[in-house]
Amino acid sequence: MRRKHFLIVISILFIIMTPLHGLADEQNKVSDQDEEAIKDVMDDMTLEEKIGQLFIVHVYGETPTDPNYEDTNLNNNRGGKNFKEVIENYHVGGIIYFNWTDNIGTPVDTEQVNELSNGLQEIAEDQRSEIPLFISTDQEGGIVQRVEEPGTVFPGNMALGAVGSKSLAHQSGEIIGNELSSLGINMNFAPTVDVNMNPDNPVIGIRSFGEDPDLVSDLGIAQINGYKEENVITSAKHFPGHGDTDVDSHYGLPEIDHDLETLHEVDLKPFKEAINSGIESIMTAHIVVPALDDSGLPATLSKPILTDLLREEMGFDGLIITDSLGMSGANVYPEDRVAVEAFKAGADILLNPPKVDVAFEGMLEAVESGDVSMERLDESVFRVLKSKMKQGLFKDPYTDKERIEGIGSDDHLQVAQDIANRGVTLVKNEADTLPVQSSEKVLVTGPGDANPVTISEQLNEKGVTADSFETGMSPTEDEISEAVEKASDVDKVIVTTYTANTDEQQQQLVDRLVETDKPVAVAAMRNPYDLMEFSEVDAYLNAYSYLEPSVNAIANALVGDINPRGTLPVTIPDLYETGHGLSFIDTPINAEGMKELVTYLENEGEIVDEETSHALSMHLTAVAHYEEKELTDKVLKHMNNFHLLLDHHRENEHISQKAHNYLTVDTDQLIELWSAK
């Protein structure tokens, strides 16, 4: 009854205070009356219910009461034999989904996840407190994404950094948010706004947008705003910045030795900008930062970092969420004190403790003993409930099953492919090794995770004679010798690498193939730094991802079906600076440059008749006139119309797919350039 009364009050206030337009904007505001209603709820909560709201935990199972995982949950200290028991026993504030807990399958069963989410909210509504759940996951895109096929798989943040497009970053956030929301997931631990400046970083790397704090800020905010369009809570991570470490905090305790000036100008800048943009939550890092706290404690457990810096100096009043408390970097206290000390440091939400009962009882004892004051507890519980209120969860926590039909739509998949295509970065191309010509025979080799077989198959489909040879992640001497032998029968060799800058055997594979004197092109399918170890290769491309859109993009680039336009979002030490990138056809991004590109494509036979070429050139001539006059609105209007013109000519087969690809990318870049003016 109490929740029904609460919902009636909220609904009346919502109708009275909200104009007919802008409902989505208004639901993300909390009025004074709403805050009073939250306080009324808190006044009726038990101590145990309040403490439970601080925890987001994982539970094994595909359904709320899945009988197949009861022993697994009990043996892994989940606090009950299934979701229902955990919610009943510990009044948890939220759940986090993983693949390895079988909450989300691979491939994802969208109906199952939607039903699980709705079922969990029903259980929460049946409790005495009737407080809806945060249902969360890590869906960054790239190497960290729990929802895969048939959902939309994105190449990841560093590919976006190579594109540098705020528009595509916004679209990626909007699409990921839409698909998560369709599954009943209302909180996403993304984006990663760490500024990656260390080639040896084992945990961030391509999860970052790059090493330029301005770029990271711009793309991070654009993505956050995309999530807001779909009413999904975001979490900027990992505060105060995990980008310059060479230790993975899952397995150790990294230390950041930056001085205060560097921290404020680099590491902290994206978080400051995210706060200014209205980010709902910030996730902490299990890293030691002596310039901010010389105690040796990780940021997650540091009051000077979480309270003095983030809460007070930076003025953040949203949710502070710990990174997983099961990670090695957080375990510097006894297991019953880790959650308590994180809370005392300033955290609001205690994420994923390894033993739910131990963490809960530790917090309960801390409050009952006075180690944690009721005032401090209420402060965080209020923030949790306020966040749930902002997201409309008290009003309606459920998700219509029909929404899952839009997951992995053609439009969504095309955006992911556009990011991958535009992100491909041609770093080196001696003697025009690339693109591969249809008359040439090639060998594609490398570790299986770098997809040499799939790329070879795609090259064959595109008219190139290609053989493949897959090696292990660290190729054996026999595998290297076999690759060298196979190279003797081809014109060129393409090596797909997977973080080869940290793998000596992959480096040997490339070195031995270079010694054959056959032209060697390397396609780096994960970290962009591999070139550091074999700079003598003839050609080098970065894909920033080994996932399907990036595999497609590399195959497209290798044969010249796309014109690489990506630029390095990070420095390759001693070789190339950020912003470097080559193209097969390097024309300026303006209307005159595009006219040059039209002429080139006509000469190559990619535009089938002079009439089409003339129509395209005439349109661009008008745009050039508006550019000269700096008439931004007219430039944008005519370039958007040029988009439609390209689509029309492609549909009528007046231009090839290659011509469409080349001209569309430059059109998008020109629109983005003028939109920023």
Q: What residues are labeled active site?
A: 250, 323
Cis peptide bond upstream of 240, omega within 30 = yes
Length of the chain: 677
Angle at 287 between CA 154 and CA 335, to 5 degrees: 105
Closest among 180, 179, 175, 190 to 220, alpha carbons compared: 190
Q: Do 146 and 97 form a contact (C-beta atoms < 8 A)?
A: yes
Under DSSP, the state recorded for 255 is B
Angle at 80 between CA 79 and CA 85, to 5 degrees: 115
Instruction: Record the tokens describing residue 504, joined without a space.
Output: 């000596």
CA separation for the pair 526, 194 (Å, rounded): 17
CA 232 to chain centre: 14
Which residue(s) pair with 375 in the sheet?
none
CA separation for the pair 388, 130 (Å, rounded): 12
Contacts with 175 (C-beta within 8 Å, 6 or more apart), sequence order: 152, 154, 226, 412, 415, 416
Contacts with 151 (C-beta within 8 Å, 6 or more apart), sequence order: 108, 110, 179, 407, 408
Q: Do 576 and 431 form a contact (C-beta atoms < 8 A)?
A: no
What is the C-alpha R_g of the chain?
27
CA separation for the pair 381, 385 (Å, rounded): 6
**What is the DSSP code string of 433-480?**
--SPPTT-EEEEEEEGGG-HHHHHHHHHHTT-EEEEEEE-SS--HHHH
Phi and psi (nearest 5°) for 220?
A: -60, -45
Residue 483 Cα distances to 44, 446, 495, angstroms: 70, 9, 10
Amino acid letter for position 96: I
| Owner of token pair 């859109």 | 549
Phi and psi (nearest 5°) for 95?
A: -125, 145
